[in-house]
Structure 1
Amino acid sequence: MKLLWMTDLHLMSGGEKHRSGVDPAVRLRVCLDDMLAEHADAARLIITGDLIQLRHTAAYGMLAEALAEVPIPVRLLVGNHDDREALARAFPALQLSNGFVQNAEQLNGYQLIYLDTLADNSMHSGQLSAERLAWLETTLGESQGPALLFMHHPPATVGIPALDKARLNDGDIELARILQRHRHRQPYLLCGHLHRNVSGVWKGTPFTVMTAPYIGFALRMQEQKLVAVDENPGYGVILCNEEGVVIHTNSLRKRVDTLETLSAR
């Protein structure tokens, strides 16, 4: 089974760009074009939140138009820049659980779980409330086989102070306990939010954080503020079979340069 994975699109309404000149709409287009050219056989396209830049809710319409051309079933999650209600209006078929953008499905022997980590207080750090954690416990108990948990905020500290302040820091302790109780399910966490490639093991559970089509954040372990860098846009290709899980990062550049030059004219 092949899955495609994107995160942190940060689309802006009105064709706005990042102050560096990076155009998030162009970056999305480049990634989607490459996905369809190389990986049209994928079973799902999963986008793990920060679909728009904060308060740019009109950009959900741009995303809906772009994804309408994608024949692969898409699963959308929310991050700290997202708005649940505006997202639901733009995507009427979005599956919700008690108002949260989370659901689960069984596919080729794997359980795919999509978690909502948007904080109730609108902070940039993440939250798994008691209600969401109870749903996860029940969901893990209802299935068999390996479990892939997609979520926006990673629970692990990664050594970059500004990012560690904004991790999943509300509900993380109970999340670790739940994953330990269901360790026979071989849970794997797949997260966004960091705009970097990071992987490791958190409290016994492996995790991967995917790079973004949008700007990246530099590896500055002494800085207290985020340092934005214009890195190659990219997306993930996940391969799942009876042996386990392999995750590739596909980094793109040449076509981005051409399109961003054209869009600036």
Structure 2
Amino acid sequence: MLIAHLSDLHVRPKGVLYQGVVDSNGRLVEAVEHLLTFDRRPDLVLFSGDLVDHGQPAEYDALREILARLPIPFLVIPGNHDDRENLRAAFADHSYLPARGPLHYCVDEHPVRIIGLDSTVPGSHHGHLDDAGLEWLDVMLSQDTTKPTLIMLHHPPFVCGIPYMDEYRYFDGDSLRAVVERFNNVDVVLCGHVHRSMSRRWARTVICACPSTATEIDLRLAASAPPASHDGPRACMLHLWTEGEGLISHTSQIGDFAGPSPFA
């Protein structure tokens, strides 16, 4: 199974630039077209939050218009820039999304089980799952303790070292870790939020953070570092799961580069 992973799209209403600078809508169009250039088409696409920038219905209208170009099934979760209810309304045709409450779900119709977690806190930018959400996750994982499983949430549940991102990270990572580490069939935890590729060992599995299709947040590690971003490089991820081999993750840069050349 080949799973594509895009994050932090930050779609704006038509004709409006992200942060007044970047054509995030055009960047998403390029990202969708990029997925269709692979020599093997992904079986599924995952979008790990911040689908739009201000949670406005007009932004979700623009997003759905762009995603109509994507001839591949896809799953979404919200990020801190999304509005939970406006997202639910915009994706009312996505039956895996619950009709009320946090947008947690489990899709179990593929060789890899996909669990989506809604780590958003309405009105805030940090991430959190309440006790009910953690209990729900435990129940979902307990239903099958052998099937390869992928968990997706927006906020990485760890300190990434970039001070202006860690100010609104997922703060109570230990509680989430305590649930996940009870199960040895979680192949990977996917997230977004940080607009960069990051990975680390966590809860007896691996976390992969996906770059943004819009901008890259600068890698600034000094405690006094001010927030900064660049218009690229942009990328998505590909997660290839094979029976007997498990899952391997690749980062794929989006854009035009010289080549191909006949060597490897």
Give the TM-score taking structure 2 as reference length.
0.89
Amino acid paired to 1:141: S
For the pair 1:130 / 2:145, whether they are aligned, the reply is no
Q: Secondary structure at the match of 1:254?
A: coil
1:63-212 aligned at under 5 Å gives the runs 63-94=63-94, 95-97=96-98, 98-120=100-122, 122-143=123-144, 144-170=146-172, 172-182=173-183, 184-212=184-212
In the aligned structure 2, how far is the partner of 1:18 from the partner of 1:200?
Answer: 30
Whether contact under 8 Å (1:179, 1:187) holds in the other structure is no
How far residue 135 of structure 1 moved from its aligned partner, in angstroms, is 0.9
Q: Secondary structure at the match of 1:134?
A: helix
Whether contact under 8 Å (1:40, 1:72) holds in the other structure is no
Q: Which moved more, 1:40-49 or 1:13-22?
A: 13-22
For the pair 1:231 / 2:232, whether they are aligned, the reply is yes
Query: Using a 3 Å threshold, how does the CA distance of structure 1 residues 87 and 108 change in structure 2: closer, same or farther?
Result: closer
Listed as ranges, the gaps of 5+ residues in structure 1 are 256-265
Query: Using a 3 Å threshold, how does the CA distance of structure 1 residues 88 and 253 change in structure 2: closer, same or farther?
Result: same
Amino acid paired to 1:219: L
In the aligned structure 1, how far is the partner of 2:34 from the partner of 2:119?
Answer: 29
In the aligned structure 2, how far is the partner of 1:229 from the partner of 1:88?
Answer: 31
How far residue 19 of structure 1 moved from its aligned partner, in angstroms, is 4.4
How far residue 67 of structure 1 moved from its aligned partner, in angstroms, is 1.6
How far residue 107 of structure 1 moved from its aligned partner, in angstroms, is 4.5
How far residue 45 of structure 1 moved from its aligned partner, in angstroms, is 0.8
| Same amino acid, percent of matched pairs | 30
More helix by share: 1
Q: Which moved more, 1:129-138 or 1:219-228?
A: 219-228
Query: Using a 3 Å threshold, how does the CA distance of structure 1 residues 80 and 153 change in structure 2: closer, same or farther?
Result: same
* Aligned match of 1:27: 27
In the aligned structure 1, how far is the partner of 2:139 from the partner of 2:167?
Answer: 29
Whether contact under 8 Å (2:177, 2:203) holds in the other structure is yes
- Provide runs of 4+ in structure 1 moved above 6 Å: none
Q: Secondary structure at the match of 1:13?
A: coil
CA RMSD of aligned residues (A): 1.8
How far residue 20 of structure 1 moved from its aligned partner, in angstroms, is 6.4
In the aligned structure 1, how far is the partner of 2:83 from the partner of 2:127?
Answer: 14
Q: Secondary structure at the match of 1:126?
A: coil
Q: Secondary structure at the match of 1:148?
A: strand
* Aligned match of 2:254: 252
In the aligned structure 2, how far is the partner of 1:161 from the partner of 1:154?
Answer: 14
Residue-by-residue CA offset, 1:72-119 (whole Å, 9 max, x unaligned): 111011000001111122111233344222211224432111110011
How far residue 173 of structure 1 moved from its aligned partner, in angstroms, is 1.8
Q: Secondary structure at the match of 1:123?
A: coil
Whether contact under 8 Å (2:57, 2:90) holds in the other structure is no
Whether contact under 8 Å (1:57, 1:83) holds in the other structure is no
Query: Using a 3 Å threshold, how does the CA distance of structure 1 residues 19 and 151 change in structure 2: closer, same or farther?
Result: closer
Whether contact under 8 Å (2:45, 2:74) holds in the other structure is yes
Whether contact under 8 Å (1:6, 1:235) holds in the other structure is yes
Amino acid paired to 1:145: K
* Aligned match of 2:51: 51
Listed as ranges, the gaps of 5+ residues in structure 2 are 258-264
Residue-by-residue CA offset, 1:101-159 (whole Å, 9 max, x unaligned): 22112244321111100114x21110111111111000001123221101100001111
